[in-house]
Chains A and B, each alone.
Chain A
Amino acid sequence: MTTSGFDVAVIGGGLHGLSAALHLARAGRRTVILERSWVGRHASSATAAGVRTLGRDLAEVPISLEAMAMWHRIEAIVGDDCGFHADGQIRVAEFDRHWPDLAEREARMRALGYAHEELIDAAELRRLVPALSPHCVGALVARRDGAADPHRTIAAFRRACEAAGVTVIEGCGLDAVERQGADWLLRCGARRIIAPVVVNAGGAWAGKLAVLFGDEIELGLKASMMIVTERLAPLLAPVVSVVGRALSFKQSDQGTLVIGGGLQGAADLDRQSSSVDFVTLAKGARAAVDLFPMVGDVRIARSWTGIEAKTRDLLPVIGASPNAPGLFHVFGFSGHGFQLVPIVGAILSDLIVEGGTQRQIAAFAPERLMANRAAA
């Protein structure tokens, strides 16, 4: 079965693929999403769903701030608030020795003209997070940051996509590609889809997809582990992280504690699976219990890992392929892609519809990770 008539085929039904498809469809492009298993299967549903500008790499700050403005009106964009609450993200200094890290960061941001990261003392920290252990000396806070609900976010973006006319095909994995005149012929099992423009939003598998088009992009893997607990009475509203330890700690709308922070499990790309390493995860539990001693007796309901692509410089890959005409890459978010979802779709739409973007994306160019670009 061959299907043509699409302007853009997005490979990968994760949040970045959905966001790209949404913006493209709204710009009038006939768009199809080809998803190997089902929408949101991997990193998008395994994410802690932090919506964070705090502590971003300087190269990401401009688009992250624009994304944050979009999150604050996310209901207007996708028709649902995605469970987003702007209760702030807080990076805690436990001891005096951790303070300079935060102070230097705040000074650098201020010098660059950014005001969204703010130093707070122990008293203000206690006011924001009364449950925090009293040994903590202060923190850096981004008050407009927060967190969302990943499943609601996936569902909202999908509904918005379909309402905008995007075709979503699940159970449709890309096996091979061919150039056919000015088009790409995409073979997915018995299905063939023809489109002139392709967006590679393949997440952890994006590197393998890129190779099908002749792009070799150096990519690593992340398999960040998460813990979710039984439900508790309200304990804290902001998302808390801490200097010098791998911890991200928050409470969901349902009352469960969601604990992450980037501790790594094991990933197996070919089996499309990943597994939890509890000896490593114990460090996260230790950090949680040290910062919030009252949670020691809280039961863990389950733990999991999500697989995604990691780049050498931990910055995403966003941009046109230097080799393959009509191919655009968007992946490699290295553990902090969720917040960027709304803006990334807008950027892709700029690149594909306008042929370029005013937004600052030079640092994300695929070429920086490609040894074979000279061969183009």
Chain B
Amino acid sequence: MSAIDLLIVGAGPAGMAAAVAARRHGLSVLVVDDQPAPGGQIWRAVETVAATPRGARLGAAYRGGAERTATFRACGASYEPGSQLWQIEPGFRAFLTRAGKARTVTAKAIILATGAQERPTPFPGWTLPGVLTVGAAQILLKTADTVPAQPVWIAGSGPLPLLYMTQLLAAGGKIAGFLDTTPRGRVRAALPHLPRAVSGLGDLAKGLAWTWALKRAGVAVIRHVTELAADGDGKLQTLRYRTEDGRADAVPAEVLLVHEGVVPSIHAPLALGCAVEWHPLQQCYVPKLDAWGETSQAGIFVAGDGAGIGGAEAAELRGGLAGLRAAVTVGGLAEAAAEAEARPLRRRLARALALRPFLDTLFAPRPQAFAPADATIVCRCEEITAGEIRARAALGRPGPNQLKAFTRAGMGPCQGRQCGYTVMHLVAAAQQRPVGEVGFYRVRPPLKPVTLGELASLDETAP
């Protein structure tokens, strides 16, 4: 067992910036990350890819990550890629697995920089081979330059599908069409947020540039799609959709990539008993944080998209703030010095987040995303349908934890990462309660599925 000042979980923009800040003030820092190289999702594999033609195609924002990873590598933090953090006990004792062996580390403070996950939105056939998420497809594009041979259908809403489509076209891929699930009227609803968003106009321009690029490339766009269904015998063969106007079609399809926005990874904060609050626009929980990113549990910080979706620039700034605060509480950095250093970070953070109310309103998930038809599988691990959950939710007023016991939804290895929010919405609808009141599953350790053999390796006593 080793003892350090600060444990940082995740080596994306937030984790790397936190490490650099904490190291600057002399803390001993360990950064663990389950990926093989630093950069997180946004800068995945940037160290090896930035200087290649693929790096050129992925864009300047991607290539900019190489500088960050270099600074991080040089900051003096211990860095363990390929590590899974699967439990944190009070005190703090963290349990890690690397290369098949488990061990514990004690730390005085912990920064969770574990990012976000794509919002799962069940629809008929979403578990068929051939249906995957835009995020997963983008990982293949970044790490392996994998471009699907056949034209792909993209369905969803948010900035990522737009970005991915431009990257895919640049890499020589073909797009069969884009089923835009953003409801009608969203632009009008979002516009009032624009004045506050002036400082985020650069990002807005980027988004518009993506849209124009797609138009120029002649990508077919079908707007205001409300319903999706994937059909096929053992794999995706036909894609059906319906729009707000009642336009319906069935088209042949081999690959469908879906994306309905991202939500913070909240399993670790929930498992640690950190207070969370409901984000009504984005229909997800976010941890309750102070101005430094500290949670309701002293010594536990959340930085990056895990603190609320804000994008890479906000993630870096939040990481820097959390690193500074850790230097105060653990390393004896003077409060005033930390404040002085934090001031410009906070200003830049406010600017980086200025566009969020606009984007959150524009890309708020469509209501149909949380009301799948009865026959649709909601819990993929245990194969539980929306109908089973609705039926059980209507008997009495069970919450998600009781439904888990009744139906097994949420009992599988993903611990409700796929079905948690859908189940909340189904419960709310069946019981006519506000969704934010329903609550989430109790999160059981381990946070990552460690194996029996790995756990056994912790036991050093002779049998």
A residues neighboring B (CB under 8 Å): 38, 40, 45, 151, 154-155, 170, 227-230, 245, 254, 257, 259, 275-279, 281-283, 285-290, 295-304
B408 touches A283 (CB 8 A): no
Nearest residue in A to B412 (C-beta to C-beta)? A301
A285:B452 contact, CB within 8 angstroms = yes
* Count of chain B residues near A, Cβ 8 A: 31
Please give me the residue from chain A that is nearest to B446 by CB atom: A300
- Alpha-carbon gap, A151 to B95, bound state (A): 30
How long is the Cα–Cα vector from A45 to B412 in the complex, in angstroms? 16
Contact of A295 among B382, B452, B463 (CB under 8 A): B452
Contacts of A155 in B (CB 8 A): 406
**Complex Cα spacing A288 to B455, Å:** 11
Which residue of B89, B102, B411 contacts A301 across the interface (Cβ within 8 Å)?
Answer: B411
Once the chains bind, are A45 and B405 in contact (CB under 8 Å)? Answer: yes
A230-B381 Cα distance, complex, nearest whole Å: 9
CB pair B463 A279 closer than 8 Å: no
A276→B104 contact, CB < 8 A: no
Residues of chain B in range 337-379 having any CB-CB distance to chain A below 8 Å: none
Cα–Cα, bound, A281→B453 (Å): 12
Report yes or no: B458 in contact with A296, Cβ–Cβ below 8 A: no
Assess whether A299 is in contact with B450, with CB atoms less than 8 Å apart. yes
B444 lies within 8 A of chain A by Cβ: yes
Cβ-defined partner of A302 (8 Å) among B405, B415, B459? B415
Give 1 or 0 for each of B62-98: 1 = CB within 8 Å of chain A CB: 0000000000000000000000000101000001000
Q: Which of B95, B396, B415 contacts A278 (CB 8 A)?
A: B95
Docked complex Cα distance between A40 and B405 (Å): 10
**A297–B451 touching, CB < 8 Å:** yes
- A279 with B104: CB separation less than 8 A: yes
State the CA gap A107–B283 with chains docked (Å). 64
Q: Which of A259, A275, A276, A297 contacts B453 (CB 8 A)?
A: A297
The reply to whether the CB of B36 lies closer than 8 angstroms to some CB of chain A is no
Report Cα–Cα, A296/B408, bound state, in Å: 25
A-side contacts of B458, CB under 8 Å: 278-279, 282, 285
Flag if B456 contacts A38 (CB, 8 Å).
Answer: no
The interface residues of chain B lying within 8 Å CB-to-CB of A298 are 451-452
Interface residues of B (CB under 8 A from A): 87, 89, 95, 102, 104, 382, 396, 398, 402, 405-406, 408, 411-413, 415, 444-446, 449-453, 455-459, 461, 463
A296 to B451, CA, bound (A): 7
Asked whether, in the complex, the Cβ of A254 is within 8 Å of the Cβ of B408, the reply is yes
A-B contact pairs, 13 of them (CB 8 A): A45-B405, A279-B459, A281-B455, A285-B455, A289-B452, A290-B463, A299-B450, A300-B450, A300-B451, A301-B449, A303-B444, A303-B445, A303-B446
Closest to B453 in A: A296
B158 to chain A, nearest CB (A): 30
- Docked CA distance A286–B463 (Å): 8
Cβ contacts under 8 Å, A295 to chain B: 452-453
Q: What's the minimum C-beta distance from B215 to chain A, rounded to whole angstroms?
A: 46
CB-defined contacts of B452 to chain A, threshold 8 Å: 227, 229, 257, 259, 285, 288-289, 295-298, 300
Check if A299 sits within 8 Å of B413, measured CB to CB.
Answer: yes
A45 to B404 Cα, complex, angstroms: 11
Q: Residue among A275, A278, A288, A295 with the most chain B CB within 10 A?
A: A278
Residue from B411, B412, B451 having most chain A Cβ neighbours under 10 A? B451
Q: Are A285's CB and B456's CB within 8 A?
A: yes
Q: Which residues of A sit under 8 angstroms from B398, Cβ to Cβ?
A: 38
